[in-house]
Amino acid sequence: MAAFGGGSGAFYIATAGAVVLCAAVVYAIVFFAAPQVEYSRAFASTSTAIRITKPQLNKEDYDRRMWLLANNGTTTMPQANATHSTSSGQATAPHYAWPVKVAYPNAEALLPFHRIVAYYGNFYSTRMGVLGEYPPDVMLEKLKAAVAEWNAADPATPVMPAIDYIAITAQEAPVDGTYRARMPSSQIDIALELAARVHGIVILDVQVGLSTLQKELPFLEKYLKLPNVHLAIDPEFSMKTGARPGTVIGSFSAADINYAAEYMAKLVRDNDLPPKILVIHRFTGDMVTGYRNIRPLPEVQIVMDMDGWGSAAKKINTYNVFVAGEPVQFTGFKIFYKNDLKPPSTRLLTPVELLKLHPIPSFIQYQ
């Protein structure tokens, strides 16, 4: 993977404009089923009692969809007591790394009942991704086309469009010693408006630089309390060694990821929200440490997103090693409209090709 680059994107704000940096290269989201309401009138009194019946998770459908996502070579789930014979003739229970056995999500969870197709970037930069590269109307038409392509490739899994906005960006300049910049609310509000236009969700991406998730997530809390806003964190720009972002690839530990998940889980419980999604970018082994200790929660669904660019073969290999090979809960795959076409690569991976992966990605991100 030495020749395989990342590219979540970081940019630097200066009076002269925006400069983009990515490790090793310069390149660096409303609908939920509304609760059913049952009315019971107490005719013996003057008051009216309203009973709210919350939706329940369809566990049978959930299990079926998770098995199909695992893409284990059969559409039929194994029975609980299923066995197979080894070469010695001994009967043993089959072992599958996917689907991962974790707690069921709360009702109204997006995954695996949808696939998320996200457009990524920052409105201040034309080089960090499609969100800032094109005028809003043009960008949204491209996103709609991508959504249509995925719906056609997998009609059984409806697509949820997403605006994946980098709300906290790594910087070349110190910025109070943290090497990160927080985007103003006016810019995040634009992301919310764009997502509403495509009936989608918002994902707020965070690059902490020399800061921490503990310090940065409260800045986004008023947005994360909204039912259609989710979170992504980028280890590439988490500089635990004190190095300047972009000079080395950073990392998050299982403890960091669990903190973010627990932070959002509390928001879900305190504000009676549908489950949140937490995306973690990854394209090397050291970017995420202690994956076995990462704990998905009923309130938070975790997606490990293959975030590297390069040729189709290198991207798939990185996905197989660092995402599929270290199971957490759900997987994602990032497509770079430009970097994935750098020589010797000559084409982008297609939805049909990505649907053949084991497991099949539930989150597709375009930069």
* Domain regions of the chain by residue span: 10-35+63-72+97-366
The pTM of the full predicted model, rounded to 2 decimals, is 0.85
* pLDDT for residue 328: 97
Show Cβ contacts of residue 224 under 8 Å, excluding neighbours closer than 6 positions. 204, 217, 230, 231, 264, 267, 276
Q: What are phi and psi of 213, to 5 degrees?
A: -60, -35
* pLDDT for residue 48: 58
* pLDDT for residue 96: 84
C-alpha distances in Å from residue 128, one per residue of 7, 121, 166: 9, 5, 9
Per-10-residue mean pLDDT for the chain, 367 residues long? 46 35 34 32 45 84 96 79 53 75 96 98 94 97 98 97 97 92 97 98 97 97 98 96 94 98 98 98 96 97 96 95 96 96 94 97 98
* pLDDT for residue 146: 98
* pLDDT for residue 55: 87
Kindly state the tokens that stand for 113: 């009942």
* pLDDT for residue 211: 96
Protein fold of 10-35+63-72+97-366? TIM Barrel (3.20.20)
* pLDDT for residue 233: 98
* pLDDT for residue 92: 53
* pLDDT for residue 54: 77
Contact 124, 18 (CB under 8 A): yes
Question: Which residues face 277 on adjacent strands?
Answer: 301
| Half-sphere exposure at residue 201, Cβ-oriented, CA atoms within 13 angstroms | 28
Q: What are phi and psi of 153, to 5 degrees?
A: -70, -35
* pLDDT for residue 20: 32
Task: Label the pairing between strands 229-233 and 201-206.
Answer: parallel
